[in-house]
Structure 1
Amino acid sequence: MARLTRAQSQARTRERLVATARQMFLHDGYHATSLDKVADTAGFSKGAVYSNFRNKDELCLAVLDDIHAGHIEEIAALVVGKTPDEAVTALAEWAERMVGDEGWTMLEVEFAVHAHRDPGLRAELAARDKAVRGAIEALARDWAERTGPAGLPPADLATALLSLGIGLGIQRVIDPGIPVRVLTDTLRALLAAPDRQPT
């Protein structure tokens, strides 16, 4: 077996650190997880962490990037090329599993509160939120091109769905009995409504 190049080795170390940090952040939370604990659990020195990430904030951003990319990929696989009804039915099943997932929801909330007092970190989170909205908007545009416009322009639909999903996720952490159908019923109503974009 050929030896890994330095770049390949560093990439592998980074992937392992992100995977380990993801597991720990989701289980224990952002503040309770130290870089020492991540390094030890992943089988590396703390120096290996610092050679890949400037600090815990940067590591957490990498974890959130990993989570968001996975979710967007899953959702795209469920909705691309499907009729709106098929897509919303598949999305409802995904949302039932994921909206209100305690580890993910609380990590997002805890890190957002942490980032609130740091303008640079807040800007990093805002850029990531914009990217997620952009991915949802692209899916909404695909639907609109194939099936006709919804009750909101794609960008507004993306913002509305993301905001509703975040709020519903927090509510479901507190009360798991709150039905996720609120999200999908809203989506169905918006997809069925005529386009009301201002002229």
Structure 2
Amino acid sequence: MTRAAGVPTRKQRQEHTRRCLLDAAARVFARRGLAQASVDEVAADAGFTKGAVYANFASKEELFLEMMDVRFAARLAELDRALSTDEAPVEQARAAGRDFVEHLNLDPEWSRLFIEAGLHASRDATFRAQLLPRYAAMRERMAELLRRRGEAGGLDPGVPYEQLATMVLAMANGVAFERLVQPDTVPDELFSSMLGLFTIGAAGGARAPR
């Protein structure tokens, strides 16, 4: 039987269902927390039954982790774009800071979800064992992006790029937390300025590669 024009395929329907569930999971987990939220709540928010959740995800934790995977990938794509321009490193860093804050403004659940992931991992060893490889992979990818930019500029920052990535993540996480609990004290341009100053300091302490 020929499929009518405009009628989604089974694969397209499945992809749509997964996207809806992931979006609903972000809203519910940000509002209720991973431990308190239920699969029924996520399904209801997405407009599906609980069966639709389990048809796509083995558990509530797997749903949460895949939702985080999507967000980790999006943040890395933003950083990649910022570091791929022809601007000077300091301007690239400032642009990356602006992109991150714009993301926080457009995705207000992100800060709560990220903090929730850390809190739940600190209490649940099984969840921590699943989260940490994902976070490590994101940090390694960030280190690769920073290394690519440093080598293109002929600079060695004097510390391993993995440590440099950890420093950037620590600043980003701190800004996200501060904006969550006391947003009036953290202007939008603060993180951009932080990364600009950090880059100036790293460049000032850099040495030519041996």
| TM-score scaled by length of structure 2 | 0.80
Counterparts of 1:188 and 1:102, CA distance in 2? 30
Structure 2 residues without counterparts, runs of 5 or longer:
none
Is residue 187 of structure 2 the alignment partner of residue 187 of structure 1? no
Following TM superposition, by how much is the alpha carbon of 1:175 offset from its aligned partner in structure 2, in angstroms? 2.8
Is residue 148 of structure 2 the alignment partner of residue 125 of structure 1? no
CA separation of 1:38/1:130 partners in 2, compared to 1, >3 Å: closer, same or farther? same
1:58 is aligned to 62
Identity %: 31
Following TM superposition, by how much is the alpha carbon of 1:84 offset from its aligned partner in structure 2, in angstroms? 0.5
Following TM superposition, by how much is the alpha carbon of 1:161 offset from its aligned partner in structure 2, in angstroms? 1.0
2:19 paired residue among 10, 15, 20: 15
Q: In structure 2, the residue corresponding to 1:51 is in which secondary structure?
A: helix
Q: 2:141 is matched by which residue type in structure 1?
A: A
Is residue 96 of structure 2 the alignment partner of residue 84 of structure 1? no
Q: 1:36 is matched by which residue type in structure 2?
A: D
Q: 2:173 is matched by which residue type in structure 1?
A: I
Counterparts of 1:49 and 1:28, CA distance in 2? 18
1:41 is aligned to 45
Q: Is the 8 A contact 1:165 1:183 kept in 2?
A: no
Is residue 178 of structure 2 the alignment partner of residue 171 of structure 1? yes
Range moving further from structure 2, 185-194 or 132-141: 185-194
Counterparts of 1:184 and 1:24, CA distance in 2? 35
Following TM superposition, by how much is the alpha carbon of 1:158 offset from its aligned partner in structure 2, in angstroms? 0.7
1:70 is aligned to 74
Following TM superposition, by how much is the alpha carbon of 1:141 offset from its aligned partner in structure 2, in angstroms? 1.1
